[in-house]
A = this chain, B = another copy of it.
Amino acid sequence: MKVVLAQINPTVGALKSNRQKIIDSMTRAKKLGADLILFPELALCGYPPNDLLLMPSFIEALEAELETILEASSGLIAIVGTVRKNPTSSEKGLYNTAAIIDSGELVGFQDKTLLPDYDVFIERRYFEPAGPTHVWSLKGKRIAITICEDIWKLEGSVEGCNYPIDPVADLASERPELLLNLSASPFCLGRVSKRIEVCQTVAHEVSCPVLFCNQVGGNDSLIFDGSSLYVDGEGELIQVAKQFEEDFLFIDLEKKSPPTSLPAEGIEGVYEALLLGIRDYFFKLGFEKACLGISGGIDSAVVAALAVDALGSENVLGLALPSRFSSEEGKRDARELAQNLDIELREISIEKTYTTLIQELEPHFVGWAPDVTEENLQARIRGVILMAFSNKMGHLLLGTGNKSEMALGYTTLYGDLCGGLGVLSDVSKKRVYELAGWINRDAPLIPESIFSKPPSAELREGQKDRDSLPDYDVIDRVLCGYVEEHKSIEQIAREHHLTYDLVKSLVRKIHQSEYKRQQAPPGLRVTKKAFSVGRHFPIVQQWNLK
């Protein structure tokens, strides 16, 4: 049997163009002599469609597009991820499903059984879990069809979720000859090797090859990396589709292919994921150009380099917005960076505006000592100027705040938190340096002095981050323990040999700055727990606060 894994990049809600992508892939697969073509989960509407699913007209439009696909199909089996109405009377009115099409006929639907409802997933909001997973007889072969999460219970690696049934274990006794999986599995650090492990375990359990077809592309905060897989019946990884781009993986189940190279993990994976996240956010929204503030620091340097790689240097505008507190070194670094990246850099001093505002406010602030107000004022004037360029020239403003700052609220709301997309929202300060190292792997695009100087917001004379914050290394460990692993203050203090008071003070900052994060730009997700999506904390709450 010859199978194509059609690793496509659908746009959420773009039903007509998604449908056309599906039909084009089917035509191409047929020409290559494929027997079966497999698409990702919810390929027809793009994943995640979220509350679009609550509109009856959206569901009807999906049904109509599926009809069009049916009519266009001939000579091969297509398994298409979509949504269908739940014909029975149960809690939710929809199924997340795979439409099984054979030469113009709808053979049936295989609905999804395990519906993730944790972290970034909210599938129980819309979908009813399916009953048992069937084995389908297609082209004389006994084929099991599963959707994403359906194969993850086996591995036991689903957090905080102990599904009472396991579709894979149930399938094993039915002895399928092939197991297919339609997925929309977003990238995060460590996810790719985990996915391979899952497919291998499944192959062992059901003793047949596993074909895993993943969505690729960025949709808001989520970045789908593709990396579709073919694991044979012995659990050996035989083929892997491209990572971070569309692919059309042709698989001849009767032939052994040469072993393929593994997808990127680690910092290279994060870098490529962010590139795709930026590209698709711009492309799918219809933007070509980006602008950003270039401070001479490491965060904006990394975002600038990413933007250039994602959009081309001619589409990136850097804005240096110095004040009286900006160091000469920082200004020089900004210019050198722009030169290295070959981007336009405009310099606009915020001094006059700052002075004007201070004068206007002076009569009202008599008797009040200078404080963080004046620092925020500078950050906010920069925000105003950046947004003016964005509005005037149609550039989308990139946010440059990193995850460590976002965690502690070491950032100005409506100031450096301005932006259409938070590129580094899920990248800790430590990883920002690693990304910078990766960017410089062949040539020193980011000037050396940007690496070596101590981080500073430059909002007052001689200010350094370390004056008001502990080491970023300490911050990142507390952040990981509290935000990603949900550990207690005591536990984190013990495990990392930190004082209770230090950990508590950082945890308080995390809770106290929740209000800033809820007004932050959507951020690209690259770890298993991002701030921008999949995290629901109250602003008004007092746990670990007092």
- Which residues of A pack against B, CB within 8 Å? 11-15, 17, 46, 48-52, 54-58, 89-93, 117-118, 122, 124-125, 160-164, 218-220, 280-281, 284-285, 346, 348-349, 352-353, 356-357, 359-361, 364-365, 368, 371-373, 376-377, 380-381, 383-385, 387-389, 391-393, 413-414, 418, 420, 486-491, 515, 518-522, 535-546
The closest CB in chain B to the CB of A512 belongs to B285
| A13 vs B371: C-alpha distance when bound (angstroms) | 31
| A161 vs B89: C-alpha distance when bound (angstroms) | 10
- Check A388–B392 contact: CB distance below 8 A: no
- Check A540–B380 contact: CB distance below 8 A: no
- Check B117–A12 contact: CB distance below 8 A: no
Query: If the complex has contacts A11-B540, A117-B117, A542-B11, are A391 and B371 also in contact, measured as CB distance less than 8 A?
Result: yes
| A192 vs B46: C-alpha distance when bound (angstroms) | 39
Query: If the complex has contacts A89-B162, A518-B522, A540-B285, are A380 and B384 also in contact, measured as CB distance less than 8 A?
Result: yes
Residue in B220, B357, B361, B373 whose beta carbon sits within 8 Å of that of A539 in the complex: B220
With most chain B CB atoms within 10 A of its CB, the pick from A93, A160, A535 is A160
State the number of copies, please: 2
Chain B's nearest CB lies how many Å from the CB of A48? 7
- Check A52–B541 contact: CB distance below 8 A: yes
Chain B's nearest CB lies how many Å from the CB of A324? 15
Chain B's nearest CB lies how many Å from the CB of A305? 23
| A48 vs B540: C-alpha distance when bound (angstroms) | 10
Chain B's nearest CB lies how many Å from the CB of A12? 4
Q: Which residues of B contact A356 (CB under 8 A)?
A: 352-353, 356
List of 9 A-B pairs having minimum Cβ-Cβ separation, nearest first:
A13-B543, A57-B488, A13-B541, A14-B542, A373-B391, A12-B541, A124-B124, A50-B536, A373-B392
Chain B's nearest CB lies how many Å from the CB of A92? 7
Q: Which residues of B contact A383 (CB under 8 A)?
A: 380, 414
The closest CB in chain B to the CB of A380 belongs to B384
Residue in B160, B359, B486, B538 whose beta carbon sits within 8 Å of that of A92 in the complex: B160
The closest CB in chain B to the CB of A412 belongs to B387
The closest CB in chain B to the CB of A357 belongs to B353
Q: List 19 A-B contacts (CB under 8 A).
A: A13-B538, A46-B541, A52-B537, A52-B541, A58-B543, A117-B125, A122-B122, A220-B540, A280-B540, A353-B360, A357-B385, A357-B388, A361-B388, A371-B391, A373-B388, A373-B392, A384-B414, A519-B519, A519-B520
